[in-house]
Copies of this chain bind each other. A is one copy, B any other.
Amino acid sequence: MSKPRLGFIGLGIMGRPMVRNLLKAGYEVTVWNRSEPGIAACVKEGARKAASPADVASKCDIVLSCVTDSPDVRQVYLGANGVIETIRPGMIAIDMSTISPAVAREVASALQAKGAKMLDAPVSGGEKGAIEATLSIMVGGDAETVASVTPILEALGKRIIHIGPNGMGQTVKLCNQIVGALNDLAMCEGLILAAKSGADVSKMVDAVSAGAAGSWAMSNLAPKILKRDFSPGFMVKLQQKDLRLVLDTAKELQIALPGTALVNQLFQSLEGKGCGDEGIQALVKALEQMDGAEVRG
């Protein structure tokens, strides 16, 4: 049985290495991006160029996308020259962006009216923007559709977790972003107390990582802080985009997330200092300024 022809929309820091991995896995990939350089880079690696999202959909069997935010997903799927104009019954769309669960459901519903299926499939763990085999993919949609595209998803991430119906991939991604942001704050407040107390901070990181307060953040982000390395990883401004989605969802659900609201404000102060393009470990600088400390080790 021959491989399905793939389309890919959105060739940014996440999308480009995804296309590379799909090409490596032997798929034919037709691509489109809002700006030309992303397209050129992918064409050089073997992808085919399309003129619009609609053109992508007309030239493939399965459309993937990875764009920035909810309005972008609406635009490339439902806007002028969007996927919806040419998608055919039986086709599948897989959106790997992190967006609002409500918008994920809305777009899935619009495609379903055309006889197509959609999955929301945001990814986690893409530190460094590099797509490595360690990515987790959280999938929302029907089980049969998920099963049918699993080989494709396995070319993009190591763990494919089918959470539930449409929107649930996004919901769990947002949960993930809450936890990541607050683990980051946890690490930073711990580091501040250590530094301000005159402790050997690298030994503190070593000791804490080993036990019941351990986290991915403590093991992976704290060592960067000790070297004053604030390069991203995962950018503050993208974390903030995701926390906005979280807080909008909490508003819809009418629930209080007081810790998330606090860390969102601290990151906002950090953006005001011009640190939006740094990695989320830069959160420590918001506390350092407040507390007159500097964490080194």
Contact = CB atoms under 8 A, between A and B. Distances in A.
B290 A200 contact: no
Interface stretch (A5-13, A48-56, A168-176): A168-176
- Give the most central of A127, A159, A213, A215: most B CB within 10 Å: A213
A249 B192 CA distance: 12
Contacts of A291: 253, 255-256, 269, 272
Contacts of A181: 186
Contacts of A255: 192-193, 196, 268-269, 272, 290-293
A46 interface: no
Interface stretch (A28-36, A111-119, A201-209): A201-209
Contact of A259 (B127, B186, B215): B186
A203 B138 CA distance: 9
Nearest to A127: B212
A172 B203 contact: yes
A91 interface: no
Nearest to A269: B256
24 contacts: A101-B197, A124-B208, A124-B211, A125-B211, A135-B211, A159-B207, A163-B204, A164-B203, A171-B197, A172-B199, A175-B191, A175-B204, A175-B208, A182-B189, A183-B213, A189-B257, A192-B255, A197-B249, A212-B217, A215-B217, A253-B272, A253-B291, A255-B269, A256-B287
Nearest to A193: B175
Contacts of A261: 261-262, 264-265
B212 A124 contact: yes
Contact of A136 (B197, B211, B244, B250): B211
Copies of this chain per assembly: 4
A159 B207 CA distance: 8
Given A175-B190, A256-B291, A269-B255, A215 B183 contact: yes
B249 A193 contact: yes
Contacts of A263: 259
A155 interface: no
A183 B186 contact: yes
Given A207-B172, A213-B179, A199 B163 contact: yes
Contacts of A189: 178-179, 182, 257, 259-260
Given A125-B212, A207-B136, A215-B214, A193 B253 contact: yes
